[in-house]
């Protein structure tokens, strides 16, 4: 969550700038925001009322671009590059980073081929450099690179801005998680009870066994005491062994 902390100040700064200006001046602010190296969250800026006014006006391309950065990927940009203004290299890099985040949303294990397709890089070395320098060192993702199997295993990925429908699915996931942990708690409690009952049974069994041994010992010693002492030595020895 360090990314959120790092971003908080930048977000405040840009929100102030955006609310202070209007119209086409906002365009340049957007470009600045999207090229900023540590800003990855744009929904706060989108929520400012002056930004929403841009909808439908001539400057709506800028709004579209901001929305692209908030929710879209590099492939979206390539497909509809007519709709968006030209991007500077910083923005290109930023968009690619955000694309990696989106990919990490759906799968935990990303293959190199898929990544190379989505990010428009041709060789593995470039891809790995990009992942290591721009994604991991920036703190966006944490994971392991498996070069032999050509996989990138994601352990942690920062969150992107939420699409409107995502909240519902998040709540669903959370309730599933809750249900699973509740079940698990019940199962563990049953196991604990089982362990206790088994140990109780074991103790009882052992005690019964010992009681029986005591009884038999007493019975045998009574018998041998009442028998005449002229029994053969062998049978005496054998009864003693039996009791042992």
CB 21 within 8 A of CB 45: no
Minimum distance, C-beta of residue 158 to other proteins, in the bound complex (Å): 5
Which positions lie near other proteins, rule CB under 8 A? 1, 4, 7-8, 11, 41, 43-44, 47, 104-105, 108-109, 155-162, 166-168, 170-171, 173-175, 177-178, 181-182, 184-185, 188-189, 191-192, 195-196, 199-200, 238, 241-242, 244
Q: Least distance to other proteins from the beta carbon of 126, Å?
A: 26
User: What's the min distance (Å) between Cβ of 12 and other proteins?
Assistant: 11
Nearer to other proteins, 117 or 163 (CB): 163
User: In the complex, what is the shortest distance from the CB of residue 176 to other proteins, in angstroms, rounded to a whole number?
Assistant: 9
Q: For other proteins, give the closer residue by CB, 50 or 102.
A: 102
Backbone angles phi, psi at 111, to 5 degrees: -80, 150
As measured in angstroms, the least distance from the Cβ of 222 to other proteins is 19
Q: CA 102 to CA 98: how far, in whole Å?
A: 6
Q: What's the min distance (Å) between Cβ of 111 and other proteins? A: 14
Closer by beta carbon to other proteins, 95 or else 104: 104
Query: Residue 2 or residue 58: which is nearer to other proteins going by CB?
Result: 2
- Looking at beta carbons only, is 80 or 231 nearer to other proteins? 231
Q: Are 122 and 116 in contact (CB under 8 A)?
A: yes
Closer CB to other proteins, 24 or 199, in the complex? 199
Q: How far is the CB of 161 from other proteins (least distance, A)?
A: 7
Strand, coil or helix: 54: coil
Give every CB contact of residue 139 below 8 A, 6+ residues apart in sequence. 2, 3, 6, 158
Crossing angle between the packed helical segments 2-20 and 25-35, to the nearest 10 degrees: 170
Tokens matching residue 87 = 């991007």
Beta carbons of 26 and 62 less than 8 angstroms apart:
yes
Q: Is 150 left (phi over 0), alpha (psi -120 to 50) or beta?
A: left
Helix axes 60-71, 89-106, angle to 10 degrees: 40
The residues near 14 (Cβ < 8 Å, ≥ 6 apart) are 29, 32, 33, 36, 39, 44, 45
Tell me whether residue 42 or residue 59 sits nearer to other proteins (CB atom).
42
């Amino acid at each position: 969550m360090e990314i959120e902390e790092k971003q908080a100040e930048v977000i405040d700064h840009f929100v102030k700038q955006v609310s202070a200006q209007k119209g086409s001046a906002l365009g340049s602010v957007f470009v600045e925001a999207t090229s900023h190296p540590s800003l990855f969250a744009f929904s706060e800026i989108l929520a400012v009322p002056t930004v929403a006014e841009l909808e439908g006006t001539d400057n709506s391309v800028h709004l579209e671009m901001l929305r692209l950065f908030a929710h879209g990927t590099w492939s979206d940009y390539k497909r509809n590059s007519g709709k968006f203004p030209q991007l500077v290299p910083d923005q290109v890099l930023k968009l690619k980073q955000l694309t990696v985040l989106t990919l990490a949303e759906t799968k935990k294990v990303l293959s190199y081929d898929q990544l190379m397709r989505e990010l428009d890089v041709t060789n593995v070395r470039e891809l790995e450099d990009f992942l290591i320098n721009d994604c991991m060192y920036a703190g966006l993702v944490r994971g392991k690179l498996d070069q032999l199997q050509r996989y990138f295993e994601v352990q942690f990925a920062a969150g992107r801005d939420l699409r409107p429908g995502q909240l519902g699915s998040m709540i669903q996931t959370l309730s599933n998680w809750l249900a699973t942990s509740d079940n698990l708690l019940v199962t563990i409690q049953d196991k604990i009870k089982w362990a206790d009952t088994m140990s109780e049974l074991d103790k009882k069994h052992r005690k019964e066994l010992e009681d029986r041994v005591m009884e038999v010992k007493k019975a045998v010693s009574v018998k041998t005491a009442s028998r005449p002492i002229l029994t053969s030595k062998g049978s005496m020895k054998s009864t003693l062994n039996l009791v042992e």
